[in-house]
Amino acid sequence: MRMEVEVKEIAGLEWALEGLSYNKNQPLDKMAEVAARLAHCDGGHNKFLESIQIWVAVKAPRKFWQQADTYRMSSKQSQSTMHTIMKQEITKEDFVEDNIPDAYIEYLNLLIRQKKFDDLKDCLPEGFLQQRMWNFSLKTFRNMYLQRKTHKLKEWQYFLGKVINAFDNAIYLKALETR
């Protein structure tokens, strides 16, 4: 699989804890403990997770991005198909797996040479890789994790694992627990 996931930054824990201290009317130095207790609690108890932001550079197939668009509480800056697809020929490395027949790749390249953008876009397979910078909150990631951790699309487990491996605070892992 050629999918790539690079966590660029996780930020905002300090400010999330400070905001939580306002809500709980308690000293800031106690908030890490409170946050660890509340991180997995839904119903508004873990809303401080919305203040923790995660930026991830992801190169993934179209089939992954179609499902990722479910998470509307995020933003994505993407490699524009309109501006990039016609600039160079397509190769096997542009797909998540090597199982695309050479004849099909040649057909796609013929559409590029003929400048048939709409036809090319209609014919791109679900395994065609696209690059995006994806930003979401830890609360949104919690939803992704709970909904996709056993998903049959193997790209989800890969993506989730890469993000989790970047977690450097126990509060982040507590957010992934269920009651």
Same domain, 28 and 63: yes
Residue linked to tokens 């998470």: 71
Q: Give the pLDDT confidence of 39-82 residue by residue, as tens digits.
A: 999 999 999 999 999 999 999 999 999 999 999 788 888 776 66
Same domain, 121 and 140: no
Q: Which residue, 93, 109, 129, sits at the end of a domain? A: 129
Q: Minimal CA–CA distance to 159: which of 63, 23, 64, 21?
A: 64
Same domain, 71 and 146: yes
Q: Give the pLDDT confidence of 72-127 residue by residue, as tens digits.
A: 788 888 776 666 788 899 999 999 998 999 999 999 999 999 999 999 999 999 99
Is 179 domain-assigned?
no
The pLDDT value recorded for residue 82 is 64
Q: 3-state DSSP call for residue 11? A: strand
Say if residues 31 and 21 touch (Cβ distance below 8 Å). Answer: yes
Same domain, 102 and 141: no
Is 57 domain-assigned?
yes
Token digits of residue 101: 């027949």
Q: Minimal CA–CA distance to 78: which of 3, 132, 7?
A: 132
Q: How far apart are CA 145 and CA 166, in angstroms?
A: 14
The pLDDT value recorded for residue 80 is 62
Same domain, 67 and 138: yes
Same domain, 109 and 137: no
Report the mean per-residue pLDDT for the chain.
93
Is 60 domain-assigned?
yes
Same domain, 69 and 136: yes
Same domain, 65 and 134: yes
Q: How many domains does the chain have?
A: 2
Could you list the residue range(s) of the whole structural domain that residue 110 is in? Answer: 79-129
Give, rounded to a whole angstrom, the gap between the first and last alpha carbons of the chain. Answer: 34
Is 139 domain-assigned?
yes
How big, in percent rounded to 5, are the helix, strand and coil portions of the chain?
Answer: 50, 20, 30
Residue linked to tokens 């709980």: 24
Q: How far apart are CA 53 and CA 138, in angstroms?
A: 6
Q: How far apart are CA 53 and CA 140, in angstroms?
A: 9
Angle at CA 128, nearest 5°, toward 155 and 114? 175
The pLDDT value recorded for residue 28 is 94
The pLDDT value recorded for residue 78 is 76
Q: Minimal CA–CA distance to 141: which of 53, 34, 42, 64?
A: 53
